[in-house]
Amino acid sequence: MNKRMDEQELMEKIKKGDEAAFSELMIMYKDRVVNFLYQFTGDYQVAVDLSQETFLRVFFKAKKYRPIAPVSSWIYAIAANLARTERKKISKKAAISIDEITNSYSAGSYSLDHNDPGLMRNVKQALGQLHPRYRLPVILKDVEGFSQEEIARMLKLPVGTVKARISRGREYLRRWLEEGREIKNRGEEDESYGLKLPDD
């Protein structure tokens, strides 16, 4: 509670152009936002660039923030929108370079053994193949720890849609890990990823 109150106070100062308050807020969230964007894009430099754009928008759009939701939700909503826009620009055959992966999941429901590099690599490969419509809510829920209601607000989707996408994304990840990389999702063919994806 104190953290949220502190963040609200920082936001009020940022609205007045307080750069010191902005720097403090950025220190609190920069690594988390970079990690989130990296999990989604698979490109560390792109994640860094998008995080910088995220915080520029936080600073210049601070007056639009309303304290009805946590500051973190607002920041992640900005980052998520930038990530989705960026994803549209990326080549359909874009590949994740596993050698460049330097981050590990900070939280989540996968109960991974972080000492098993093979398992971590497999999960990251699976996330990289997951269609963005499923990847984004799965990362926000299982990696970043947001509730389904918070994710729905961030992505401007009904809670039921968010719940369904998380469930389908988790099922795909589970089958990937259990059955291997050649498995296909049932449903429509997604030309961007060469995977069979279920309809929403």
Which residues in 46-192 belong to E strands, given as ranges? 188-190
Residues of the chain above pLDDT 70, percent: 70
Q: Which residues, 6+ apart, have CB-to-CB distance to 159 below 8 Å? A: 148, 149, 152
Domains of the chain: 1-90 (1.10.1740.10), 106-200 (1.10.10.10)
125 pLDDT above the threshold of 80: no
Picking from 136, 135, 132, 160, the residue whose alpha carbon sits closest to that of residue 148 is 160
The reported pLDDT for the residue numbered 174 is 82
pTM over 0.75: no
Quick one: average pLDDT of 39-67? 90
- Are the CB atoms for 184 and 147 separated by under 8 Å? no
Q: Given phi > 0 = left and psi -120 to 50 = alpha, else beta, which region is 63?
A: alpha
Q: What are phi and psi of 14, to 5 degrees?
A: -65, -35
Strand partners, 189: 196
| pLDDT per residue as tens digits for the range 9-23 | 999 999 999 999 999
| pLDDT per residue as tens digits for the range 28-48 | 999 999 999 988 888 889 999
